[in-house]
Structure 1
Amino acid sequence: MLSLPPAMQAALDSGVTTLAWCWLITRADGERLGFTDHDGALLLEGVSCEPASGLAPAPIRSETGSPARGAAFGIVSSQRVSAADIANGLYDAARVEVWRTDWSDPDTRVRVFTGEIGEIRRAGAAFEVELAGLSARLNRRIGRVFAKTCDAELGDARCGVDTTLPAFSAQGVVAGVISASGFAATGLDGFAPGWFTHGRLVWLTGGNAGGVARVQTHGLVDDGTRISLAWPPAHAVLAGDSFEIVAGCDGRAETCREKFANFARFRGCPHIPGNDVLIRHAGSEAVRDGGRR
């Protein structure tokens, strides 16, 4: 049961209210956005909640034993919620707080929901955002998977590789566009073909500045370097766009040892038996008497 501030409770008891919905979003990059269904901007926790500016909530449902869920609907706006920011993952798992606020005194408020953004579905300029309560995290798989390949992300704390070293990162410039997700690049001539395959690319300039993409292939042809991304970026890539690219890792023990000299921190199980062990006979010798292999 919610505990209401005395001033809000008194207003509700009077039968005449000045209430509005406000919700705050904290994105993956730390930026905070505020929205409200009031007809004027409201200041909430130092964030200006803009009226009718790209987002409107649907009812949030809560059932016993299930996490609270809801949805928010809106129109992509270059000022508040841009298509590029959505495509670049800045709203993935963003924290959401929903407040019931007295618009005549925004300090009189009560928080009715705290959760995060789940799936985002787009249709043209419109989008629908799934809101999930914090208890939804309990439904996620937590822990490690035992496999031959490494389950760490290159450069993270468990991996330990310094991806800022010149051997593992470089800056390049788009020399020409080949397709929506492929382009020719300069600045990468000193690296062997495939060095950046499975790597990470961060756009520094252009329409996709700040966006992150996964490198699908890195190759060399007669007239230079070719980069193919796993998916097309939010905006068209143009000649002259600059980027930073980080070497790729396919998670194999051989790659960890030979490419990164980091086998001591390899986070896989390279000697774990494969599925063939489960289906083969008890022994490979001609005599199978039930003894140990």
Structure 2
Amino acid sequence: MELLFLGTSAGVPTRTRNVTSLVLDLQHPTRSELWMFDCGEGTQHQLLRTAAHPGKLNKIFITHLHGDHLFGLPGLLCSRSMAGNIHPLTIYGPPGIREFVETSLRISGSWTDYPLEIIEIKPGVVFSDDAYTVTAAALNHPVECYGFRIEECDKPGALDGAALVAAGVPFGPLFQQLKRGESVTLADGRTINGADYLSPPRPGKKLAIFGDTAPCENALALASGVDLLVHEATLESAMEEKANSRGHSSTRQAAMLARDAQVKKLIVTHVSSRYDAEGCAMLLAECRTVFADTRLAEDFATVRV
């Protein structure tokens, strides 16, 4: 998996940071999909400066209905249609997301030429298939706001081909059955159990992507043990009370959550426009005093998971 940050500013854009959006490239071996999380104003312009193609967007997850996370959505949907994309798109978001999208399209005389599904979510599993599960939980913000936990299914262990050949199993189609853990019967009557020749399953990747939030219990549960946590750090530690009063977190609080949840890596984003490059360096330093493996997101930065 790979994350591409399209916007990392809080509330309003700056000269160097657009408002919130990021894209998750699943990099799955059998399907080419991009999942977007939030779509602040100007997101489609940010996409134009990357290799990510809107036509490959399969899902858009909206954390909450504040404008800096949402106002880019109607334009992106229309441009995707005008470009001739026919691939289906599903939007997941809090109650009200359907009304926002449908009203924006209706009163502007716009439409989509591709299948568009809008799912208004509630806490729990919002999507699951044979490769991924996405779980949502409510966070602590003035409007209904969600964080998402994305879990990749465990991958089968490697097949010990050399041991199978040594056991007299002919190389060929039987290997595929054994790779799936099935049993096969050889010409000499012996039964070979594939599970006996597989290494342990490889754990799938896990990541958590949060909307805006002040500290809360659900955040810890969503982030527990993930490979990567994307968390807001709107203000510095000295302004923690102000951050919390508006449903946001400080640098220290984001880093404390990463530490307590035992995540592997923390990416902080949603930085207040009050901070210039020097201020951002200070924010990162504050995080690293609590959780060393922290990175401050920048627009167009990519992070492998």
TM-score by length of 2: 0.21
TM-score by length of 1: 0.21
Give the structure with the higher percent helix: 2
Give the structure with the higher percent strand: 1
- Relative contact order, higher structure (CA 8 A, sep 6+): 2
